[in-house]
Structure 1
């Protein structure tokens, strides 16, 4: 495990209790960065942070519900109070209760909007004042290949991810000091299928994950690549998907 150095960054990660968020926290901590894990499953992120520290890394954790602005502000405040700065926010938390639109699962639609889109906006709102005061910062928003290719059962999910790409580009253009990156994963082995309420869609996605899915560590490495570029280099978007994915 690499000890923190002058190049070590303070990196906040939402949705860090599993999947891409957990893999990213472990990968970045192993590279010597200081990571702050946020998720609703407090016991889980506490265990992950403890394992990172046992391996020689530096990690904090704090309960985080991205759908609540106050929760995100408390998460950011903890990191700022402890480290004095925030270099990177990885907006990763997401849900995907997929279903055909004519099933009218309006509660699921609103849940995706609350987490996938509003949660990203809450993260930006919480961290942007800190980064503006610093005169530097990096926001990494995790979207999806579903923002590029829309298929049945994914209409609302895709809509939230298209919106994430749009607001990311707008934010990038508004600031000359802030770096903004969109990372769009394809089929990745995570717990995302567990958020699907429609049994048929859940079975289909689970089978595709088993057959084609790439490990979450592949997305973590893409995030690390974007973060690791010099301050005057902004990686706008990275798409990472299985070779076999259509």
Structure 2
């Protein structure tokens, strides 16, 4: 695993973004960098990640990247450690990595259930485990967990996915209540342009999901919400934001 950084004299926050090679993660990293923050991008697709970081730097931002598998705690710790080594601190973690291989429960796609649990729940917990000691030592920090409107309602074909996103909200609320010097934000996107539907193995379900995406909002809309939460003063904790297309029921 490699880290590439470009430092400058800006005093923006050091923000780590998981799942940053595409979709909401990429859009969020770009917007945070444009707002003057120093971003460190993490994802499994190293080549794609490097290209995103290079584009941010070409646009005048400060960005590093580090190959990351959120299902592996040591990988997440290495990601956080590399960011801290480069910038001296970690101000914000955006736990964005997620998968959504929806299907009817009766299809018994147990491997896909486990994958959603590993990425969507364990990945968030691994991120918290890796940054919490650092933020406690600093006396400040901010964890942004990307959930979903699926964490507010349950739909057929999405029972397990919804369960994972309900869990993200529960974990976030528990962390918020336990914290006095740490900010915790949950951002719940509705239908958003991303690569999530690519992971649906059931072709019929994928077609339905892709039809629904006709009303999807751009990933940048979610990124803007995250930037808003990050940019608030230290004493202001934006706990939850739901962002969905106007046309979504």
Aligning the two structures, in what range does the TM-score lie when normalised by the shorter sequence? Answer: over 0.9
- Cα deviation code 1:39-83 (max 9, x no counterpart): 000000101101111111100000000000000000000000000
1:204 aligns with 2:247: no
1:102 aligns with 2:106: yes
Matched, 1:155 2:181: no
Equivalences for 1:75-114 in 2 at 5 Å?
A: 75-114=79-118
The aligned counterpart of 2:191 is: 187
Q: What are the ranges of 5 or more consecutive residues in structure 2 without an aligned counterpart?
A: 1-7
Distance in 1 between the 2:222 and 2:114 partners? 26
Instruction: Quote the offset at 1:175 in angstroms.
Output: 1.0
1:139 partnered with 2:143: yes
- Note if contact 1:4-1:32 (Cα within 8 Å) is conserved in structure 2: no
Please state how far the C-alpha of 1:200 moved relative to its aligned partner: 1.1
**Aligned mates of 1:185, 1:4 — CA distance in 2:** 34
Number of matched pairs: 242
> Which residue of structure 1 aligns with residue 5 of structure 2?
none
Residues 169-207 of structure 1, C-alpha deviations (whole Å, 9 max, x = no match): 000111100000000000000000001111111111111
8 Å contact kept, 1:4–1:33: no
Distance 1:99 1:13 in 2: 28
- Of 151, 169, 186, 2:173 maps to 169
Deviation at 1:5, TM superposition (A): 3.5
Which residue among 3, 10, 20 is the counterpart of 1:5? Answer: 10
Q: What is the aligned partner in structure 2 of residue 125 from structure 1?
A: 129
Superposition misfits of 4+ residues, deviation over 6 angstroms: none
Deviations 1:10-59 (Å, cap 9, x if unpaired)?
A: 00000000000000010110111000000000000101101111111100
Distance 2:21 2:80 in 1: 17
